[in-house]
Structure 1
Amino acid sequence: MLKKIGATVLAAAAIAVTFTGTAQAEYNPKCPSGVTQIGSTKILKWRTETVASVKQFKGCNKNWAYVWVWDTWLAKHKEPFEISAGVSTRISESSVDYVKTWNKQELWSSGADTLKECTRAGGGVWNSTFSAGDWTDERC
C-alpha cells in the first residue's frame, strides 16, 4: 500500500512541476502586467523530433512572439544553437521586432506596436547541423 501511495505522490509531483514550468515559461519580463496568448501554438520540428514551440501574445499594448525550446530537445542536443523570435505584419511580410540570441531555452521578441494590424509570430532554432522554424497562424 505504501509503495502505491508513494508512486501516486511522485506522479502528482511530476505533473505539478510540469505545469509550473510551463506557466513560468510564459511570463514576459518585458510586460509585467501580463500577456495573453492569441492564436494557436506552432510546434517546430527537425526531422521527427520536437524542437520548440512558437506562440503569439498580446499585452502592454503590443504583440509579442515567444519561442520555447523543449527540455527533451535540450537534453539530447548539447551543441550551440541560435534562437530567434519576431512578429510579422501582413503589410511588412517580415519581422518588425526580430530578436535573436544563442543557447537560451526561451526568447521573447522586443514587442511590436501592431495590435491594430494582422500579425503572426515567427521563431526558429538552428545551427550548422539542424534548422527548425515557422510562423503561427495570422491574427487580425
Structure 2
Amino acid sequence: MKKALPIIAAAVAGLLAPGVAHAETPPGCASAQQIGSTAYVKMGGQTAASVKQFAGCGTNWGYVFVWADWAAKYDLFHVTAAVTTDDGTNHGKVIGRVDQREVWSKATATIASCTRALGVVSLGEDGWSAYSSRRC
C-alpha cells in the first residue's frame, strides 16, 4: 500500500493544480482538434472555467472545463456547453449534471458556418459566460 500513496498523491495534485493538461477528445471523434482560441469564464475576477471549440469528423463541439480550484470553493453549479452561429442560435446545447466539471456539447452540423463555443457556469439564478474566438 505504501507504493500506492505517491501515485495517488501525484494524481490528486494533477487534478488540483490549475493549468495542468488533461485529455480533450470529443465523444465519437478522436481526430478532432481545437479551433480558435480558448476563452475563460470569470466570476468575480476568478477563473471558473475554460471554453474551447473543436472541429473534426465533419462537425463542431463546444467544450467547457471547470477548474479544480474554483470547483473546490463552490458546489451545486451547472455547466452549459454549446456551439453558437453568427445568427445567435445555440446548437448542440448540453447542460451538465450538478457539479459536473467537464461538459461537451452535442456534435453540431455547423462546420460550414462561422461559429464560437459558448460556455456558461451557473450558481443558482446567477450565471457567467464566455465565448471562444469566432471561426469561419
Which secondary structure does the structure 1 equivalent of 2:117 belong to? strand
Determine if the alignment matches structure 1 residue 66 to structure 2 residue 63.
yes
Q: CA offsets per residue over residues 94-137 of structure 1, 9 Å max, x none?
A: 20211112221100000111111111110111122642212112
In 2, Cα distance between equivalents of 1:104 and 1:58: 23
Aligned to 2:106: 110
Counterpart among 90, 98, 107 of residue 95 in structure 1:
90
Aligned to 2:127: 131
* One-letter amino acid of the counterpart of residue 30, structure 1: G
CA contact (8 A) 1:86 1:99 kept: yes
Aligned to 2:53: 56
* One-letter amino acid of the counterpart of residue 51, structure 2: V
- Is the strand fraction higher in 1 or 2? 2
Unaligned runs of 5+ in 1: 1-12
Unaligned runs of 5+ in 2: 1-9
User: Identity over the aligned pairs, expressed in percent?
Assistant: 39
In the superposition, the TM-score normalised over structure 2's length comes to 0.80
Moved over 3 A (4+): 16-19
Aligned to 2:44: 47
> Which has the greater radius of gyration?
1
In the superposition, the TM-score normalised over structure 1's length comes to 0.78
CA contact (8 A) 2:77 2:121 kept: yes
Root-mean-square deviation (Å): 2.5
* One-letter amino acid of the counterpart of residue 66, structure 2: V
* One-letter amino acid of the counterpart of residue 26, structure 2: N
